[in-house]
Amino acid sequence: MKRKLLIFILGISGIIIIFNYNIGIPCIFFELTNLYCSGCGMTRAIKSLITFDFYQAIRYNVLIIILPLLIYSLIFDKKNKIPNWIWYLLLIIVILYGILRNIKIFNFLAPTII
């Protein structure tokens, strides 16, 4: 439990530093391939969540909606109460999202500013 709490505190501290000092985290995958990965826009989405701009957060990266599940699993899920099939389903969704957001027909999935 102490390790999970430390990870949570470090994560929150990192978010606060990024938000206060307007530091962007570049996506190495995008820099090398010019393609969006599943996580592209996540830092900006978290910044938008902090300012309660939920619509903009979803426009940056719709996978932000699984963030509460991840936080719950890191902090409270001591005995792995979340079934494995949910994790497999989330993995498939993340992979498909990463593929689809680079196809021209699905360009609305790319990180955008409203």
Chain segment 64-99, per-residue pLDDT in tens:
988 888 777 777 767 777 788 888 998 999 999 999
Chain segment 28-37, per-residue pLDDT in tens:
888 899 888 8
At residue 99, the pLDDT reads 92
Whether 6 shows a pLDDT value over 90: the answer reads no
Q: Which of 5-9, 84-88, 104-108 comes out lowest in average pLDDT?
A: 5-9
Chain segment 43-58, per-residue pLDDT in tens:
888 888 888 899 998 9
At residue 24, the pLDDT reads 65
At residue 86, the pLDDT reads 83
pTM of the model: 0.71
At residue 23, the pLDDT reads 63
How far is the CA of 61 from the CAs of 16, 19, 40, 71, 94, in angstroms?
A: 19, 17, 7, 17, 11
